[in-house]
Amino acid sequence: MDKQLDELLHQLTDVEKIQQQTHEYVQDLPDDTIDASSDDYIHLNNRHFFRNKDIYVSKHNRYARYPLHTHQFLELNYMYSGHCVQYIDGKQVTLNSGDVVLLNKGSSHSLEALGDNDILINILFRNKSIHLDLLDKLYDSDSVLFNFLMNTTTRNQTEPLYILFKKHGNSDVTHIINTVLSEYFFSRKFSNQIISSYLPILLITLVRDYQSEIINKSKQRLNDPVMLTVLKDIEKGYATVSLQSVAKELNYNRYYLSNLIKKKTGSTFTELLNQQKLLQAQLLITSTKLPISQIIRQVGFSNKNYFYSKYQEKYGHLPTETRNNK
């Protein structure tokens, strides 16, 4: 499979064939993916990348400089082979084979043209792809990655930030990413679930095996065990948890905790809870044959019409369309 993957990644795409001849950037994304474009920035949204999936993987097209762009999702760049030079929030960053850079939401970056053997992999994921058990483990180790992910999750980060992971000795990172790539490009049954399961393993392995450099203009670190408890309780007990039960666990006044959650995350407790319920509902819709009505009850929605309204608001279509597309 590794040989087959290697051949696929080195094979010229249609865009690369053009860029190889012209050395000029070819825009290959759907028009509705770009919210705004100017001489300074291209602003990318989530619509194209996360249709019926939480993680999007692609090979970066070679032979032309990629213009400055920004987006509202997390991006992991992995240097599969060769090297690349990119500029992240104005700072030059060079990746060599095996290196990884993790970019925060809102970071701006551009890339110099890649050569024949420069294979750069983009792995895009949303906050909900980050399992709270992962944050808990990283919090115990006082990891720089915990602070990065926690800032992203709670929206308490005012400055763009990224982490550069430099390969150092032997590591399982290459094997993990190659497994993710094989499952993605040679999709089989349950490939999406396998890829999602590998994401926390990949992040923890990066912390363990790689030398990391955290780049944060404000140099602020956030360790917020209260918000971590709230988010963990929502993730684990989404079907039955309530603001009152979480407030009792933390020994907080319910109204005070409600205001604190809004201040820290930008969302109400109910909004966070609905996000988790909808995520679980979508997972059950795409990975099981359970009736939609049973899924609605199982994830904790008591009003079917309310569920359908929120689901369509979040995903842009009804649950039956999700299942049919899957």
When pLDDT is cut at 50, 70 and 90, the band that residue 97 belongs to is: very high
Answer yes or no: are the C-beta atoms of 70 and 210 closer than 8 Å: no
Q: Rounded to 5 degrees, what angle do the CA atoms 301, 307, 310 make?
A: 130
Q: For the chain, how many helices (H) and strands (E)?
A: 13, 12
When pLDDT is cut at 50, 70 and 90, the band that residue 217 belongs to is: very low
Q: Are residues 93 and 200 in the same domain?
A: yes
- Identify the bridge partners of residue 83 per DSSP, sorted by sequence position: 96
- C-alpha–C-alpha distance, residues 296 and 293, integer Å: 5
Q: Are residues 141 and 284 in the same domain?
A: no
Is the backbone of residue 300 left (phi > 0), alpha (psi -120 to 50) or beta? Answer: left
pLDDT confidence of residue 218: 43
Q: Are residues 209 and 235 in the same domain?
A: no
3-class secondary structure, 9? helix
**Pick from 199, 185, 178, 63: nearest CA to 128:** 199
**Pick from 322, 139, 168, 312: nearest CA to 231:** 139
Beta strand spans in 271-325 (E): none
pLDDT confidence of residue 227: 80
pLDDT confidence of residue 323: 81
Q: Are residues 47 and 103 in the same domain?
A: yes
Mean pLDDT of the chain: 82
pLDDT confidence of residue 29: 77
Answer yes or no: are the C-beta atoms of 115 and 62 closer than 8 Å: yes
**pLDDT for residue 60 is more than 50:** yes
Q: 14 CB contacts (<8 Å, ≥6 apart)?
A: none
Q: Are residues 187 and 247 in the same domain?
A: no
**Phi then psi dihedrals of residue 213, to 5 deg:** -130, 115
**pLDDT for residue 219 is more than 60:** no
pLDDT confidence of residue 208: 79
Q: Are residues 212 and 98 in the same domain?
A: yes
Answer yes or no: are the C-beta atoms of 267 and 273 closer than 8 Å: no
Per-residue DSSP letter, 114 = P
pLDDT confidence of residue 155: 54
**pLDDT for residue 304 is more than 90:** yes
pLDDT confidence of residue 248: 93
Lowest mean per-residue pLDDT among 110-119, 124-133, 241-250: 124-133
Q: Are residues 78 and 210 in the same domain?
A: yes
pLDDT confidence of residue 48: 63
**pLDDT for residue 300 is more than 60:** yes
% of the chain residues with pLDDT over 90: 36
pLDDT confidence of residue 266: 76
- List pLDDT tens digits, range 166-183: 887 778 899 999 999 999
CA 31 to centroid of chain Cα atoms: 22
CATH number at 319 reads 1.10.10.60
Among residues 195, 216, 237, the one where a domain terminates is: 216
Q: Are residues 118 and 158 in the same domain?
A: yes
Report the chain's terminal Cα–Cα distance, integer Å.
Answer: 25
- Range 72-89 average pLDDT: 90
- List pLDDT tens digits, range 220-274: 444 577 887 888 888 888 999 999 999 999 999 999 999 888 887 778 899 889 9
**Pick from 95, 91, 62, 59: nearest CA to 79:** 95
Q: Are residues 169 and 53 in the same domain?
A: yes
Q: Which residue do the tokens 């201040």 mark?
A: 263
CATH number at 192 reads 2.60.120.10
Among residues 216, 237, 256, the one where a domain terminates is: 216
Q: Are residues 40 and 89 in the same domain?
A: yes
**pLDDT for residue 15 is more than 50:** yes
- Range 79-93 average pLDDT: 90
Among residues 171, 196, 216, the one where a domain terminates is: 216
Domain count, the chain: 2
The parent domain of residue 259 ranges over: 225-325
